[in-house]
Structure 1
Amino acid sequence: MVDQGSGAEIMYSELYKGLGLKPEDLSKYDTPLVGFDGRIVTPKGMIKLPVQMGCEVVEVDFIMVYAYSPYTTILARPWLYAMGTVSSTLHMKVKYPIEGCVRELQSIVGVSEVSDRMTKISVQCEELEKIVLGLENDKYFQIGTQLPLAEKEEFLVFLRNNLDVFARSTYEALRVDLEFICHHLNVNLAITPRRQQPRRSSKEHAEVVKEEFNKLKKAGAIKEVFLSIMVGQHRGSQEEVR
């Protein structure tokens, strides 16, 4: 089963035993999980196994549980992200990019005379066409070559009319209008905050933060602000913070 809403890959005991794996093959993992029925399930451990889809192989960390399920395993977001996969439970298919193509795996489920469920897998590959709409050749879109001509033209018109809203990196998305969306912290002002212990970053971490800060400042995503009020005390004396 492919579950886009799950954050962990699950393997049930029936499949684990069927693969000939032993309890000592598991590494320690005891974080409780919530099942489909809302019950808390304690995992027996974790194991890393290769998963092959087409000609692509990705190693997946499976959490093994002893619980009833109509499925043998659940593939979740970590596997979907690793494969670059887009799944559709409605159409019972997944698509993923590979070597400039888009591969499609479709599961066609039927019932035979003895009521055994049979699954047939068909694999298709669609070529992609590179479309450059702006002035920079290294910024382009990729469109499937099997897209009907009328839909392709309509799609290209849409992209041209909305080219300014596409950001190729976080540094191109400078700001969001506060009238569109604004985040507020859910805090109770009546509660006195606790003073936390000071934390010191490692030299490597501080250098990474400084480098990222300079990138954001250079891109105009953030700017320095100097406060004229005294906002705190440090070692007995007040300091102006910027």
Structure 2
Amino acid sequence: MSSPMLGFSDEDKDGTIQPHNDALVITLRIGGYDVKRVLVDQGSAVEIMYPDLYKGLNLKPEDLAAYDSPLVSFDGKTVTPKSQIRLPIQIDLDIMEVNFIVVDAYSPYTAIVARPWLHTLRAVSFTLHQKVKYPSEGQVKEIIGDQAMA
């Protein structure tokens, strides 16, 4: 079975404030909770979780696995992550396991989902249109960004 064509048109901009330079910020169901302020970052190779989400999900140190590969943050500084954890992200009926790197740093976001998540979902994101589109059950589904949160 072939996947439906994923694309964007001017109609996809309906409901957005144009012109804008906003990041794509969405709400995702992570670990069984609706998590707001999740940044979709096509330029990142790893999913990141910040302290607010770690605390909000009531995760314990024993839930985490070691991770010691340094990361480079947005401002070019090297950040040494604490650990990683594998958690489910649910979109409609689709559930996928994602490895989040837990970083002890300030961020306006609770988490960042990146290329591994987009590729697993077979999704396309577009900041201009403030949407993520992905194929599911023979149709195109979408996650709409929250410009006010961005």
TM-score normalized by the length of structure 2: 0.71
Alignment root-mean-square deviation, CA:
1.4
Unaligned runs of 5+ in 1: 111-116, 120-242
Instruction: Give the number of aligned pairs.
Output: 112
SS at match of 1:67: coil
1:20 aligned partner:
58
CA shift, 1:107, in A, is 2.2
- Give the distance between the partners of 2:65 and 2:146, measured in 1 at CA: 36
Q: 1:68 to 1:108 in 2, by over 3 A?
A: closer
Q: Which residue of the other structure, out of 95, 107, 124, is the alignment partner of 1:57?
A: 95
Bigger relative contact order, structure 1 or 2, given CA contacts below 8 A and separation 6+? 2
- Give the distance between the partners of 1:37 and 1:108, measured in 2 at CA: 24
Identity %: 60
CA shift, 1:30, in A, is 0.6
**1:119-134 correspondence to structure 2 within 5 Å:** none
2:22 aligned partner:
none
SS at match of 2:107: coil
Higher strand fraction (1 or 2): 2
CA shift, 1:82, in A, is 0.5
Higher helix fraction (1 or 2): 1
What does the per-residue CA deviation read over 1:117-161, in whole Å, with 9 as the maximum and x for residues that have no partner?
5x9xxxxxxxxxxxxxxxxxxxxxxxxxxxxxxxxxxxxxxxxxx
Runs of 4+, deviation exceeding 2 Å: 107-110
| 1:4 and 2:42 are equivalent in the alignment | yes
SS at match of 1:37: coil
Alignment-mate amino acid for residue 51 of structure 1: I
SS at match of 1:109: coil
TM-score normalized by the length of structure 1: 0.45
CA shift, 1:2, in A, is 0.6
